[in-house]
Structure 1
Amino acid sequence: MSDLQIGPASSADLTAVLDFWKTAAEGTSISDDLAGVERLHARDPHALLLARREGELVGTVIAGFDGWRCHLYRLAVHPDHRRRGIGSALLAAAEERFRELGGRRADAMVLDRNERAHGAWAAGGYHRQDQWTRWVKPLG
């Protein structure tokens, strides 16, 4: 795993990230457009973490912190690179970022239908809180 580099995305990476999500992420969101990702990057340039192996983008996670809570989105690993510890390494980097910012608990947005991901999150020490229901309203 020593050849894996994890660090924040640059503004030059954002288009490639959107293309990457089309292949690696399960489903899309209304905010999966260049304007949305540019807003994220402008607000918090260290929130979008990228994993690269030999210069190739192989994984992403958004580690957002609003000053009170830590939120994880878009943990995605390219299908050709799964089951090699990349997702775990991205989560460890996100959790380290949260600790440095003073965060005390992280939550993750995971699609119900993405059962493969449920096992990965559980293996990372996360547990499902079934008593919560997520309510969503598109604002655009």
Structure 2
Amino acid sequence: MQVRSFQLSDYRPLTQLLETTLTEVCYEETMEAFARQLSWDSDLVLVATNNQEVVGMIIGTIDQNRGYYYRIAVHPEYQRQGIGKLLIGALRQRFEQRNVSQILITADEYNEPILSLYESMGYAAKDFFRSFQKLSIVAG
């Protein structure tokens, strides 16, 4: 298993992964945020590969010097194998390298089911970002 920065050649497999794992509405919102994040800072979009196959991804962003885990997806056949934790850990390292003031988890209706994953990694309720004000990658 390898975690690395998104590459242009990952686009099609990544969109297929998101179509497989997300609801239609969540997919549309995520693709818009994904495109904006790629244009701003593609180093905060990470993919997990297994034998060159994209099996997971995470989108992060930095907004007002805070790092945010925005969206994570792992192919159903690869879930519960630690891939999500690898992605979260790799993105955390990127946030720390950039000296963000705080790391938060975007807790929207689509992320609620996986908040326990973040909790298992030491994050607490105070780290969950629930707000009517959207992140810039979502608000445009």
Please give the range of the TM-score, normalised by the shorter of the 2 chains: 0.7 to 0.9
CA deviations 1:55-78 (Å, max 9, x no partner) are: 111111112123611011111111
Aligned residue identity for 1:70: G
Q: Is the 8 A contact 1:73 1:108 kept in 2?
A: yes
Give TM-score scaled by structure 1 length: 0.80
Aligned to 2:66: 69
Identity %: 25
Report the residue type matching 1:66 in the other structure.
Answer: D
Where in structure 2 are the equivalents of 1:7-46 lying within 5 Å?
7-25=4-22, 28=26, 30-33=28-31, 36-46=33-43
Aligned-residue RMSD, C-alpha: 2.8
Q: Does 1:58 align with 2:49?
A: no
State the TM-score, normalizing by the size of structure 2: 0.80
Partner of 1:99: 96
| Aligned amino acid, residue 62 of structure 2 | F
8 Å contact 1:7–1:51 — kept in the other structure? yes
Letter in 1 for 2:9: A
Query: Where does structure 1 lack aligned partners over 5 or more consecutive residues?
Result: none
Deviates more, 1:45-54 or 1:124-133: 124-133
Distance in 2 between the 1:100 and 1:130 partners? Answer: 19
Change (3 A) 1:73 1:114: closer
Q: How far does residue 94 in structure 1 lie from its aligned partner after superposition?
A: 0.6
- Provide the aligned length of Structure 1 versus Structure 2: 136
Rg comparison, structure with higher value = 1
Higher relative contact order (CA 8 A, sep 6+): 2
For 2:54 and 2:107, the matched residues in 1 are separated by: 21
1:108 partnered with 2:111: no
CA–CA separation in structure 2 for the residues paired with 1:76 and 1:11:
18
- Unpaired segments ≥5 residues, structure 2: none
